[in-house]
């Protein structure tokens, strides 16, 4: 998917009219349906933004139509309330002398946004040689092709396009990242701490950083959502982020939070929501641990149940209901990640995610129409009539098992979705 961005005037309004016509991007070449630009900042308030990673929204202020850090070192990160997978983003920014900041992409709700997703760096680097930590870099992963940031105190313009696993970045009109694959490049703090881009979250929030120096200014922030399944914005968190309050544990296994990440380990056992649902959409980021992380003879196996109930004759064993399977190694037709276990096969015919890497799971059940997606790719699309109401439940399958979840959210979809 490639999109034309033609700026012939300075755009202070975001009321662009969507067009059904396909257009060509002179930089990228392909033809795609034109999407609609939407403002991420209304110029007056911080509506639509939340603090994260130890930050305080009170440390960010709106001044003269700009977002500014009013209490340097206290802001941490602010993020959008919606998640984005594929998108085009624009923002104007000012970096002060010696300043350092960044825009986080596909960030999860917990953890350092520079590494749960990735960060495109914003830094006072005018006149310096490009490195993998300079302005325009994918932080600690990919240096920019050239250094295009203006002198400290001047306005800069970012245009960032992320579709599937391909990133393009323009800084002040210079194409500084050209069709970069999100591959096995990337480290944490040192070269001996690999953190490959292709193992990080595949969908997430857009975020901006207060690194601590102060002086960051932002304006004209807007997004064009190119995701195949955009976040509708009305999800609620399934957990409080620190406990399993509102959930009931049955059988064995361990369920709990580690630094904001929900972990289902060992087993077998299940954790049931106290509330029940008929029609439901569930979205979650999921990671299956690698065998060497647990020293288990078997790799991770889990599932997200929906419309499920404990088995009446033995509520501590395998429940009744639909299970959106999590297993990258069971290749049977209805038994791998993305399938509805023993009920519906997935369209690709094989897993498209893997152990050790985060992937996003989407489950949608409306009436007897059940669908699943992995990383935005359709998997199950089936008519299933066995169960019409029940709990959501998380499974841990066997001793040594470990599966991690972030940003588990649900909503009640509309009829016809």
Q: For the chain, how many structural domains are there in total? A: 2
Tokens, residue 224 = 């064009």
How far is C-alpha 295 from the chain's CA centre? 29
pLDDT tens-place string over residues 226-278: 999 999 999 999 999 999 999 999 999 999 999 999 999 998 999 999 999 99
Same domain, 283 and 187: no
Q: Each residue of 107-128: b (16+ CB within 10 Å) or e?
A: bbbbbbbbbbbbbbbbbbbbee
- Which of 203, 225, 247 is where one domain is finished? 225
Residue 295 phi, psi dihedral angles, 5° rounding: 60, 30
Output the pLDDT for position 292: 87
- Which of 225, 260, 275 is where one domain is finished? 225
Backbone CA torsion sign across 399, 405, 409, 414: negative
Tokens, residue 155 = 């306005």
Q: Is the pLDDT of residue 116 over 80?
A: yes
Helix (H) or strand (E) holding 291: helix 291-294
pLDDT tens-place string over residues 5-53: 333 333 333 333 333 333 334 444 444 446 799 999 999 999 999 999 9
Same domain, 302 and 394: yes
Range of the domain at 380: 238-411
Instruction: Using alpha carbons, select from 259, 265, 242, 245 the residue that is nearest to residue 110.
Output: 259
Same domain, 77 and 150: yes
pLDDT tens-place string over residues 153-188: 999 999 999 999 999 999 999 999 999 999 999 999
Same domain, 165 and 64: yes
Cα–Cα distance for residue pair 375/198, rounded to 1 Å: 12
Same domain, 90 and 184: yes
pLDDT tens-place string over residues 315-373: 999 999 999 999 999 989 999 999 999 999 998 999 999 999 999 999 999 999 999 99
Q: Each residue of 378-413: b (16+ CB within 10 Å) or e?
A: bbbebebeebeebbbbbbbbbebbbbbbbbbbbbee
Check if the beta carbon of residue 410 is closer than 8 Å to that of residue 305.
no
pTM of the model: 0.90
Output the pLDDT for position 17: 31
């Amino acid at each position: 998917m490639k999109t034309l961005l033609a700026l012939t005037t300075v755009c202070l309004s975001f009321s662009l009219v969507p067009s059904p016509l396909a257009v060509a991007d002179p930089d990228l070449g392909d033809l795609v349906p034109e999407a609609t630009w939407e403002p991420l900042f209304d110029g007056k308030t911080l509506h639509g933004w939340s603090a994260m990673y130890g930050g305080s929204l009170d440390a960010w202020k709106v001044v003269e139509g700009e977002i500014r850090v009013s209490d340097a070192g206290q802001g941490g990160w602010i993020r959008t309330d919606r998640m984005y997978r594929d998108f085009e983003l624009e923002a104007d920014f000012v970096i002060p002398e010696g300043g350092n900041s960044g825009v986080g992409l596909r960030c999860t709700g917990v953890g350092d946004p520079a590494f749960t997703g990735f960060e495109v760096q914003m830094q006072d680097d005018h006149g310096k040689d490009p490195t993998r930590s300079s302005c325009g870099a994918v932080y600690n992963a990919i240096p920019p092709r050239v250094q295009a940031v203006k002198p400290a105190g001047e306005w800069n313009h970012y245009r960032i396009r992320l579709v599937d696993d391909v990133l393009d970045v323009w800084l002040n009109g210079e194409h500084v990242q050209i069709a970069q694959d999100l591959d096995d490049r990337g480290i944490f703090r040192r070269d001996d701490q690999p953190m490959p881009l292709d193992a990080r979250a595949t969908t997430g929030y857009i975020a901006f950083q207060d690194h601590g120096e102060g002086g960051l200014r932002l304006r004209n922030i807007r997004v064009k959502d190119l995701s195949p399944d955009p976040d509708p914005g009305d999800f609620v968190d399934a957990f409080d982020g620190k406990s399993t309050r509102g959930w009931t544990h049955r059988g064995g296994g361990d369920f709990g939070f580690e630094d904001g990440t929900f972990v289902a380990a060992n087993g077998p056992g299940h954790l049931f929501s106290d509330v029940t649902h008929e029609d439901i959409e569930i979205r979650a980021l999921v990671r299956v641990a690698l065998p060497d992380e647990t020293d288990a003879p078997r790799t991770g196996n889990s599932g997200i149940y929906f419309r499920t109930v404990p088995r009446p004759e033995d509520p501590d064993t395998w429940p009744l209901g639909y299970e959106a399977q999590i297993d990258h190694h069971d290749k049977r037709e209805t038994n791998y990640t993305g399938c509805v276990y023993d009920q519906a096969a997935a369209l690709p015919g094989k897993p498209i995610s893997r152990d050790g890497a985060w992937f996003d799971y989407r489950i949608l059940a409306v009436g007897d129409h059940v669908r699943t997606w992995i990383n935005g790719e359709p998997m199950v699309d089936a008519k299933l009539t066995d169960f019409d109401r029940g709990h959501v439940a998380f499974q841990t399958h066997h001793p040594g098992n470990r599966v991690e979840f972030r940003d588990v959210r649900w909503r009640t979809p509309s009829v016809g979705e």
